[in-house]
Amino acid sequence: MIKINHLTKTYNSKRVVDNATFSILEGKCTALIGPNGAGKSTLIDMIIGDRHPSSGNIDDEQGLLQSQNLGIMFQKTNFPDLIKVKELYYLFANLYKDTISIERFCMITRFDDNQLNQYANKLSGGQKRILDFALSLIGKPKCVFLDEPTSAMDVQMRTHFWNIVTELKNEGVTLFYTSHYIEEVERMADHVIVLEKGKVILNDKPESIKDRQQTSIIYLPSKYQSVVDSVETLAYTRENNKLRISTDNVHAVIERFIAQQIDLNEIEITKASLLETIFTNNNTEGMK
């Protein structure tokens, strides 16, 4: 594993990253989440060696952070104006002894011959992101860092991207990524690190985080508003054409609904999302 020990970065007396301590487990998928400005990119830059910490250290006994083992997808990459996609592939492929094939590259990017011969800087935003992802995998890395990887991707491309990530997980690749899309964290992460104002405020498995949350969410059609209004202790909000009720006692609420002859087939019950669980007591913005 990679051990992050009391990592701190200070700019002009302000701690952008403050005493961050956690582990990145080998062969697992770890998500780093938090609001904009929490210090996520700065923390990643220190781990991969692009910035020097003001204090703290990193233990990497397996050498996962060595250049030959590491793939990096930055939050934003600018490609040269006059280089084609296929030229980028061959340029990167010449930097490594063992690389993915051009066929594998095309499978990851979903690019055809026309797109391979296109200037990289002329691609759409989503195409540039999947290209950047494929380039980070050319050297068959054992560890991959992904900073906001699916920004600008449409739904189909995001689904394809996470299917590739699942393949990498099954191959034992260590993955560390940031995301503003909480459903991606719930779906893919084996471990979650929450950063707020530079501090690690939570470090746990997603299922353990959700198990702490006893709150359930009940949705029912807005036509039942008068019934819900008749229950003095029941608070709700409106979401589209439904009423949303948060409760720590689902059984009692359902018993009231049965007494009021509400059709239970029209009711949906879910647990609070990971986002709600994490930030219930933290006034945090910037997540989706």
* pLDDT, tens digit (0-9, with 9 covering 90-100), for 199-233: 999 898 887 776 766 778 899 999 988 888 887 77
Reported pTM: 0.78
% of the chain surpassing 90 pLDDT: 65
The owner of tokens 């781990």 is 47
Say if residue 284's pLDDT is above 50.
no
Helix segments in 27-71, DSSP class H = 40-48
* pLDDT, tens digit (0-9, with 9 covering 90-100), for 75-89: 888 899 999 999 999
Cite the beta strand spans of 191-275 per DSSP E.
Answer: 191-196, 199-204, 216-221, 237-239, 242-247, 268-271
Our CA angle for 100, 104, 108, nearest 5°, is 115
Query: Fold identical between 2-210 and 214-271?
Result: no
- Distance CA(195)–CA(21), nearest Å, equals 11
For the domain bounded by 2-210, which CATH number is listed?
3.40.50.300
- Distance CA(12)–CA(38), nearest Å, equals 17
* pLDDT, tens digit (0-9, with 9 covering 90-100), for 120-179: 999 999 999 999 999 999 999 999 999 999 988 999 999 999 999 999 999 999 999 998
Q: Where are the domains of the chain?
A: 2-210, 214-271
CA 181, 129, 32, 69 torsion: positive or negative? Answer: positive
Say if residue 34's pLDDT is above 90.
no
**Topology of domain 214-271, CATH:** Alpha-Beta Plaits (3.30.70)
